[in-house]
Amino acid sequence: MPSAQSQSTSSDGSARYETHEHDVIIIGAGGAGLRAAIEASALGLDVGLICKSLLGKAHTVMAEGGVAAALGNVEPKDNWKVHFRDTMKGGRYLNQWRMAQLHAMEAPDRVNELEEWGALFDRTADGRILQRNFGGHKYPRLAHVGDRTGLEMIRTLQQHGIHTGMKVYMECTVTRLLTTPGSGGGSGAPGASGQEEGDAVAGAFGYWRESGRFVLFRAKAVVLATGGIGRAFQINSNSWECTGDGQALAYLAGAELMDMEFMQFHPTGMVWPPSVRGTLITEGVRGEGGTLRNKDQKRIMFDYIHPLYANETAPTEEEADRWLALSTSGKMDKNVRRTPDLLPRDIVARAIHAEVKAGRGSPHGGVFLDIATRRTAADIKRKLPAMYHQFKELGDVDITKEPMEVGPTAHYTMGGIRVDPETQQTRVRGLFAAGECAAGMHGANRLGGNSLSDLLVFGRIAGLHAGRHAKERSGLPSLDLGQIEDAAREALAPFERSSGPNPFALHEELKDAMQTYVGIIRTEEDLSEGLRRLEALRERAGTIRIDGNRHYNAGWHETIDMRNLLIVSEAMARAAVLRKESRGAHARDDFPDTDKEHFAKVNIVSRKHGDTMEVREVPLPPIPGEIKQVLEEE
Amino acid sequence: MAAHPGSNGSKAKAAKLRVFRGTAAGGDFQNYEVETYPGMVVLDAIHDIQAKQSPDLAVRWNCKAGRCGSCSAEVNGKPRLMCMTRMSAYPEGEPITVTPMRAFPIIKDLVTDVSWNFEMAKKIPPFKPRPRDADGNWRMQQIDIDRIQEFRKCIECFLCQNVCHVVRDHQKKEVFSGPRFLIHLATLDMHPLDTLDRREMVKRDFGVGFCNITKCCTEVCPEHITITDNGIIPLKERIADDHYDPVRWLLRKVAGKPRAHKVPAQPTEAGKTADISGRHRVDGGNGKGELER
Ligand SMILES: Cc1cc2nc3c(=O)[nH]c(=O)nc-3n(C[C@H](O)[C@H](O)[C@H](O)COP(=O)(O)OP(=O)(O)OC[C@H]3O[C@@H](n4cnc5c(N)ncnc54)[C@H](O)[C@@H]3O)c2cc1C
Ligand code: SF4
Ligand code: SF4
Ligand code: FES
């Protein structure tokens, strides 16, 4: 079906604005969005894919270490059950079990499918897809291409996707979702998570970055795949796009956010020079044998073995090194345990934080990551070429000769839009979400490699169910002109003010507030101060003034992103106040223990209520007996 | 205002920049001064200008880590990724000139219209693998894919397209795909699993014959892909020999082991390709993806 540009003269706004109609629109062209679009197109539907940068540039392109899937190519003992157990344990059992199960079961098919579309992963000696070790994964599980796995993935999906008939709208930013009140027909089943019925989605409102002109999309179903919110923090590893747009769009349209307190700080970001502070160093460095040391050259991780992982972690350097030698040669021995350098990210990040705080850090406030003494220069250049270049060109460090200096960097958000685990549908009927902007799969802490697989598995599921939803509906939902006019007014307001603050300066202040008060270690007092600052920033953001015209105007774009960042930051701080325990990525100095009674059994959910954000606890869905059994096997 | 990354106690130095400001209709250079800090790259300087002096300065970037290929521009006339170009590489005190890529139409300031590349990508018939092995895997030896993995490092920065004189000669943009897509075609041609024979197209539609091996593309590639020697020259040779000896081509293609026969590629089915709009559209949804230029 060819996509139609509406000629309608009705009072729904399509006469006034450039309008495009599709069965399904996908907002976001990272791994999740592309995979969703491919799936919906495969159902024979007319699909529009919208992204705010050029096609193929989405944040997914930066992913380095690999995609997790229990293919069992390197360790035949691996299977979905082990992957599922690792994922739940890594998430400290706050994951939606059904999502973790679907993910572990379907990831191998999704990775194999990429190969069918042209991806070229590194190979095992017998010619199959090679897999590497990563934190929290019991067996070598990450399919990879050197340290540029995300590039391989996005290019493969892009090259496959552009031949499926979808229409791509590049450099086009969505600022509002449009909804139809009440029950708009269709079969938007209330989710298994017990979310009751709400409004139905009708489309989206946005602008072309180039011209600044507004554009309207009408669709029967919408998938959000807009990625993360790393740009809320001073030190982060994320691309500029990660401003929480999808989470904010969904929230404003009446959907819920969940698990927002869980922000992953990746343990190894660059700390020097200032220009690249926060830029990621893949966990693959430790997967290939890299070790973390303090200024006295002592390997630090043996002092920070979490009780949950004590049974499976080597307590001595000797055993840790033996494990590495065995596992990289594909000969595992169950009596030799993993190195603590590969403990899950929350544990390693806090260990580094503690070493630095105790005065045992490196000259620029991190710790040392050493691969130079562990592998040959040729190995390092072959297995970690991008890291080698990154340090050589940006840090004046030759990692085949010297250690790197590393420290925690805001990296990934486990929280996001609350979805039904089977279908990825939100509380708003016809509105789906997948990838980093959705919540539930990773619980309190994500394992490395589990995001790229999440994008593929849930991108596909969201595309499938959005497609089915669209097929069940005969016509496009009606639009509400009032919503459209409000969206236009909201976007243009900064041009109409005579004076006001600079959006870039406000963004810096926001990052500073989040880093300082809602960062890696939290207290009630800090969080309250953080919320006060966010409130003040929100008021000032409402008075920003923009000069110039709408033609590719960076300041204007930044202003629109600020609204989204403020919403997700507030949700994060509020959820963090409510969770009075330490678990996974959420660490409270005033509640250092993990609470096995109350907080082990609830997720925290936020939702728009008039002009305020309502935050509440919801019980975790019960785990059926046979799944409990899988969790208890060892 | 929050601590600037540079304000770590060290004495700040100033750098001068001359940045092109304007649109397709015309423009001029504007001079700026920014404070430098350790490790600063040209993209940092541009961001600093945006934040403190000209918030409407247009620049494309995503990752600031040399991974997305968005921030391509010319620095002192040389094609560069701005995020991988250190300020300290240039003589102190002399102004650094930053201009948009030359081969593509200007949208605004440092941002150019690279949509031609996306149109070209669509014309290439996609990968078509042979069936899987009996156990559901596809076996490939690392050594047989090393070379094409090199090509797949491409981040689509289009700097090679920007320097290629054939691309700059706009007449040829219809019949020459440029080095970026020649290495993509080489990837497909050398892919051990692919079954489609694109040789005719490589000559006819993608103009491999226009390349006269100046190697300018290889010189600017930020991923250090040896575009010409490893990609284009072998592609030219394969097409030339195989013109006379298709059996030899097939054997070489499958690394010594003949497998499935290649089938000639058809022009991609109309209406099955994506319609990619990077600029506001004028095509009224005719499915052809005409872009406003
Ligand atoms: C440096 C780095 C390395 C990583 N390495 C790994 C790894 O090895 N393994 C792993 O599993 N994970 C890794 N991750 C995490 C993983 O890359 C991300 O979680 C994942 O790529 C997110 O993909 P996504 O599809 O959800 O969104 P993204 O890739 O972030 O894409 C978001 C898309 O939404 C679009 N968009 C956003 N807002 C709007 C809007 N308002 N309007 C229109 N479009 C919009 C954007 O343009 C973009 O196309 C890494 C992350 C980083 C930062
Ligand atoms: S070698 Fe060929 S493709 Fe490369 S720049 Fe020269 S003419 Fe263009
Ligand atoms: S081949 Fe190199 S220069 Fe050309 S687009 Fe790819 S990365 Fe850029
Ligand atoms: S911003 Fe991504 S390559 Fe420069």
Nearest CA among A11, A489, A424, A22 for reference residue A218: A22
Rounded to whole angstroms, the Cα distance separating B248 from A437 reads: 51
Summarised one tens digit per residue, pLDDT across range A121-151 is 999 999 999 999 998 999 999 999 998 999 9
Residue A52 and residue B70 in contact, taking contact as beta carbons nearer than 8 Å: no
**Looking at the predicted structure, is the pLDDT value of residue A198 above 70?**
no
Expressed in angstroms and rounded, the spacing between residue A59 Cα and the centre of ligand 1 is: 4
Q: Six-digit token pair at A379?
A: 């190995």
The verdict on A511 touching B (C-beta cutoff 8 Å) is yes
Ligand 2-lining residues (CB < 6 angstroms): B 163-164, 166, 179, 211-217, 228, 232
Higher pLDDT, B253 or A398: A398
More confident residue, A386 or B30: B30
* Minimal-distance CA residue to ligand 2 atom 5: B164
**Residue to substitute from A122, A156, A163, A509, interface B, most B β-carbons within 10 A:** A163
Six-digit token string for A547: 């000069």
Please name the residues in contact with A319: beta carbons below 8 A apart, sequence gap of 6 or more. A336, A337
Residue B292 has pLDDT above 60, yes or no: no
C-beta pairs of A321-326 under 8 Å, 24+ apart in sequence: A324/A289
CA–CA separation, A286 vs A387, rounded Å? 12
Residue A505: closest CA among chain B residues belongs to which residue? B1
Averaged pLDDT for residues B131-154:
94
The reported pLDDT for the residue numbered A335 is 87
pLDDT value at position A327?
79
pTM: predicted TM-score of the whole model, two decimal places: 0.92
B79 band by pLDDT with thresholds 50, 70 and 90 = very high
Residue A295 phi, psi dihedral angles, 5° rounding? -70, -20
For residues A470-485, average pLDDT:
94
- Average pLDDT of the residues in A177-182: 88
Query: In this predicted structure, what is the pLDDT of residue B170?
Result: 77
| Closest chain B residue to A393, measured at CA | B84
Residue contact A168–B277, C-beta within 8 A: yes
Q: How confident is the model at residue B12 (pLDDT cuts 50, 70, 90)?
A: low
Predicted pLDDT of residue B263 = 67
Write the DSSP assignment of A212-257 as a string of letters. --EEEEEEEEEEE-----GGGSSSB---TT-S-HHHHHHHHTT--E
Average pLDDT over residues A217-241: 96
B83 within ligand 4 shell (Cβ under 6 A): yes
Residue A528 has pLDDT above 80, yes or no: yes
Q: Which of B68, B90, B88, B61 is nearest to B78 (CA)?
A: B90
A633 pLDDT band, cuts 50/70/90, is confident
Amino acid (one-letter) located at A339: T
A326-345 average pLDDT score: 85
Q: Which of A132, A241, A406, A414 best tests ligand 1's pocket when mutated (most atoms within 8 Å of CB)?
A: A241
Q: Does B23 contact A551 at a Cβ distance shorter than 8 Å?
A: yes
Instruction: Work out the angle at residue A311's Cα, subtended by the Cα atoms of residues A307 and A314, and round it to the nearest 5 degrees.
Output: 100
Nearest CA to ligand 1 atom 4: A63
Q: Residue A94's CB: how many other CB atoms inside 10 A?
A: 26
Q: Which of A122, A155, A273 sits opposite B38 (nearest CB)?
A: A273
Radius of gyration of chain A (CA): 24
Token readout for B204 is 């006819």
Is the Cβ pair B155, A151 closer than 8 Å? Answer: yes
Between B249 and A70, the higher pLDDT residue: A70
Contacting residues for A381 by C-beta, under 8 A, at least 6 apart: A388, A400
CB contact under 8 A, B38 and A279: no
Q: What is the pLDDT of residue A187?
A: 40
Cα–Cα distance measured from residue B73 to residue A177, given in angstroms and rounded to the nearest whole number: 35
Active site residue ranges of A: 266, 286
Please state, rounded to an integer, the average pLDDT across all residues of chain B.
Answer: 85
Going by pLDDT thresholds of 50, 70 and 90, the confidence category of residue A60 is very high
CB contact under 8 A, A20 and B84: no
**B228 and B217 in contact (C-beta within 8 Å)?**
yes
pLDDT band at A415 (very low <50, low <70, confident <90, very high): very high
> Measured from the CB, is residue A261 less than 6 Å from ligand 1?
no
Average pLDDT of the segment spanning B44-58: 96
Distance from CA of B186 to the nearest CA of A (A): 13
Q: What is the pLDDT of residue B5?
A: 43
Query: pLDDT digits over A562-609, tens only?
Result: 999 999 999 999 999 999 999 999 999 999 999 999 999 999 999 999
For residue range A429-456, what is the model confidence (pLDDT) as tens digits? Answer: 999 999 999 999 999 999 999 999 999 9
Give the model's pLDDT for residue A325.
Answer: 87
Give yes or no for residue B291 having a pLDDT over 50.
no
pLDDT tens for residues A338-382? Answer: 999 999 999 999 999 999 999 999 999 999 999 999 999 999 998
Is ipTM > 0.95 here? no
Is residue A280 pLDDT above 90, yes or no? yes
d(CA A21, CA A550) in angstroms, rounded, equals: 24
CB–CB contact B55 A152 (8 Å): no
- pLDDT of B6 higher than 70: no
Nearest by Cα to B48 from A504, A228, A143, A224: A504
Cis peptide before A2 (omega within 30 of 0): no
* Average per-residue pLDDT for chain A: 93
A144 CA from centroid of ligand 4 (Å): 22
Of A467, A526, A425, A371, the residue nearest A24 (C-alpha): A467
Identify which of A56, A234, A274 has the shortest CB distance to residue B37. Answer: A274
Q: Kindly state if the Cβ of B61 falls inside 6 Å of ligand 4.
A: yes
Mean per-residue pLDDT, A184-194? 40
Q: Is residue A628 very low, low, confident or very high in pLDDT (cuts 50, 70, 90)?
A: very high
User: Which atom of ligand 3 lies nearest, measured to the CA of B158?
Assistant: 5
Q: Is the pLDDT of residue A386 over 90?
A: no
pLDDT of the residue at A181: 79
Residue A73: count of CB within 10 angstroms of its CB = 23
**Confidence at residue B276, expressed as pLDDT on a 0 to 100 scale:** 66
B167 lines ligand 3 (CB under 6 A): no
Nearest to B78 by CA among B216, B201, B189: B216
**CB–CB contacts below 8 A, A to B:** 238
**Mean pLDDT score, B60-69:** 96
Residue A455 burial (CB count, 10 A): 30
Helices within chain B (DSSP H only): 42-52, 115-123, 142-151, 159-163, 165-168, 179-190, 199-204, 216-220, 233-244, 246-253
DSSP one-letter code for A621 = P
pLDDT given for residue A334 in this prediction: 79
Q: Which pLDDT score is estimated for B65? A: 93
Closest-CA residue in chain A for B65?
A: A279
C-alpha span between B220 and B35 (Å, rounded): 28
A490 interfacial to chain B (CB closer than 8 Å): no
| Sequence-ordered list of residues with C-beta below 8 angstroms from that of B253, at least 6 positions apart, any chain | B189, B190, B262
Q: What is the pLDDT of residue B2?
A: 39
Q: What is the pLDDT of residue A188?
A: 40
| DSSP category for residue A61 | G
CA–CA separation, A409 and B38 (whole Å): 19
